[in-house]
């Protein structure tokens, strides 16, 4: 059942100042029917210019009483849970920290909603990393593909995903689960491949680093979507998604990391030397990932609209602006 728009809707975004959260806030604010609140941990960052239009709660969500207080104050109709430790690479060095953060906060969100506002809809954001060990026979990956996580980050997302299902089954919460594949775009932090490359190119263009770029495995192929398409999918899912269901979000096309690099190098204003760095290799690497997004396309009507090359161009322009303001 679609979420009625009469009288406007109130959204609460955990992690609103992050990469995805800030784009989601912008998208919701562009629609007259939404009021937007969010939790912030640390600097306001990307939402600083929007703060006057947002209801913000500076908070760390590892305590249930903090989460319930925010819910009592905000009284949302829809909750987009984005606050998390988002880096696969960080989970190799701090596996328990990743598990503890992502599982505890998800539990507090669901338990808080069950206690305070049980009619609130909740989007539980998992990851394509949940599928983990993928063979060519598994491609493209649909929602029935077995979950074989390869990192603590992936395992934490499996736990978040299944908690969303559990609270639907046991508490009758309107949870919708989503497994987004790689999403890229302006404002993504270093630690993700497109931003890693673009930030180094932008720094080299203005002389902040030598004209070299350090890379890991360039042969792996991933399914990339633009974050602005992804947040549109999230809103469509929380308003029209079936409670308890899980949906993949992805483009249905794979691109080699080499293609990401070559496309960005083709946009560079200076010649760049490429250097392979063993430290940038993951302990485990799946050769290719392709999303089967048939379910969301057929049931919800979502499909991506922003071309791969445009996403990369926008990422590079973002990092050029960042580097232009960096101290020389």
Q: Where are the domains of the chain?
A: 9-184+225-251, 193-221+254-289+306-324
Q: Which of 249, 257, 280, 284 is nearest to 134 (CA)?
A: 284
Residue with tokens 């042969």: 219
Mean local confidence (pLDDT), 29-38: 90
Strand residue runs (E) in 201-328: 212-215, 221-222, 225-226, 246-249, 255-256, 273-276
Element (H or E) spanning 13, and its range? strand 9-14
What separation in angstroms does the CA of 88 have from each of 95, 163, 191?
10, 20, 9
Residue 51's pLDDT is what? 77
**pLDDT tens-digit profile of 46-103?**
888 887 899 999 999 999 999 999 999 999 999 999 999 888 888 889 999 999 999 9
| CA atoms of 159 and 43, how far apart (whole Å) | 28
- Compute the radius of gyration of the chain from its Cα atoms: 19
**What average pLDDT score do residues 202-216 get?**
93
- Please check the confidence at residue 2 and state whether its pLDDT lies above 80: no
Query: Does position 142 have pLDDT exceeding 80, yes or no?
Result: yes
Rounded mean pLDDT of 102-115?
A: 98
**pLDDT > 90: percent of the chain:** 82
Once rounded to an integer, what is the mean pLDDT over residues 161-184?
Answer: 98
Range from 143-152, 276-285, 297-306, 309-318 carrying the lowest mean pLDDT: 276-285
Q: Convert the pLDDT of each residue in 214-268 to its tens digit.
A: 898 899 999 999 999 999 999 999 999 999 999 999 999 999 999 999 999 999 9
pLDDT band at 7 (very low <50, low <70, confident <90, very high): very low
Give the model's pLDDT for residue 283: 54
DSSP state, residue 198:
H
**Smallest Cα–Cα separation from 249: which of 127, 106, 154?**
127
Looking at the predicted structure, is the pLDDT value of residue 282 above 90?
Answer: no
pLDDT of residue 5: 43
Judged by average pLDDT, the poorest of 140-144, 183-187, 190-194, 284-288 is: 284-288
CATH of domain 9-184+225-251: 3.40.50.720
Residue matched to tokens 């990932």: 289
Would the pLDDT of 201 be above 90?
A: yes
pTM for the structure as a whole: 0.94
Buried b (16+ CB within 10 A) or exposed e, 268-294: beeebeeeeeeeeeeeeebebbbbbbe
pLDDT at 6 over 50: no
CATH topology assigned to domain 193-221+254-289+306-324? UDP-galactose 4-epimerase; domain 1 (3.90.25)
């Amino acid at each position: 059942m679609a979420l009625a728009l009469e009288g406007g809707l109130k959204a609460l975004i955990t992690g609103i100042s992050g990469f995805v959260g800030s784009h989601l806030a912008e998208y919701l604010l562009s629609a007259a029917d939404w009021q937007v609140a969010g939790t912030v941990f640390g600097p306001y960052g990307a939402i600083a210019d929007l703060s006057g239009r947002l209801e913000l709660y500076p908070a760390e969500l590892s305590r249930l009483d903090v989460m319930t207080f925010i819910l009592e104050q905000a009284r949302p109709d829809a909750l987009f849970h984005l606050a998390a430790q988002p880096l696969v690479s960080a989970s190799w060095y701090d596996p328990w920290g990743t598990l503890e953060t992502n599982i505890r906060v998800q539990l507090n969100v669901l338990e808080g909603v069950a206690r305070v506002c049980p009619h609130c809809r909740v989007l539980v954001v998992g990851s394509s990393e949940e599928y983990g060990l993928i063979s060519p026979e598994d491609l493209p990956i649909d929602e029935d593909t077995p979950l074989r996580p390869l990192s603590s980050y992936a395992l934490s997302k499996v736990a978040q995903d299944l908690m969303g299902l559990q609270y639907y089954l046991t508490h009758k919460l309107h949870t919708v689960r989503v497994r987004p594949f790689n999403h890229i775009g302006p404002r993504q932090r270093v630690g993700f491949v497109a931003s890693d490359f673009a930030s180094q190119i932008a720094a080299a263009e203005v002389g902040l680093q030598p004209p070299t770029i350090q890379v890991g495995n360039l042969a792996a192929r991933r399914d990339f979507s633009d974050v602005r398409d992804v947040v549109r999918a999230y809103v469509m899912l929380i308003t029209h998604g079936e409670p308890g269901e899980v949906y993949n979000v992805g483009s249905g096309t794979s691109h080699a990391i080499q293609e990401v690099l070559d496309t960005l190098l083709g946009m560079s204003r200076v010649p760049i030397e490429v250097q392979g760095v063993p430290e940038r290799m993951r302990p485990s690497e799946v050769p290719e990932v392709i999303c089967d997004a048939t379910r969301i396309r057929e049931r919800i009507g979502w499909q991506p609209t922003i071309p791969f090359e445009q996403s990369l161009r926008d990422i590079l322009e973002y990092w050029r602006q960042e580097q232009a303001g960096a101290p020389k």
